[in-house]
Amino acid sequence: MTEGYEVTYEWRGTFDNTALNALHAEGFGHPAEDTDWRTQVERHSLGWVCAWADGALVGFVNVAWDGGVHVFVLDTVVARRLRSRGVGAELIATAAREARAAHCEWLHVDFEEHLRPFYFEACGFRPTDAGLIGL
């Protein structure tokens, strides 16, 4: 229970594109788009985790993969009203458990500087060297 909200988590849960587009817009501060998330995750992801409260989609993380032992956390988002209450950390924990169960060996994430405490402290990622080319 998260302060007045019972939150449930579902691996590869069924979600509505409109609801995920609205959550994504709220979480990342842009206008709602018309992305076909369902097709995208089914085509490119090991799985995804949906968080639900009172029948509404309140959290989501995509677990993209290389088809082998590496998976990548993308698009971690939690509804504003439930932030800083452990929902995001549980999304990541569920993603890690399911990836481990699928015999993946590495869970990767990249993020903006202000999210370091979340990913390193709340989720247990460790710093590593990485590279990036802006395209």
CATH code of the domain covering residue 118? 3.40.630.30
Query: For residue 122, how many other CB atoms are within 10 A of its CB?
Result: 16
DSSP strand E in 6-109: where?
Answer: 7-11, 45-53, 56-65, 70-78, 106-108
Note whether 65 and 76 are within 8 A (CB): no
Mean model confidence pLDDT for the chain: 94
What does the alpha-carbon distance between residue 106 and residue 99 come to, in Å, rounded to a whole number? 9
* Model pLDDT for residues 67-97, shown as the tens digit of each residue: 999 999 999 999 999 999 999 999 999 999 9
2 within some domain = no
Checking if the pLDDT of 3 tops 80, the result is: no
Checking if the pLDDT of 64 tops 80, the result is: yes
127 within some domain = no
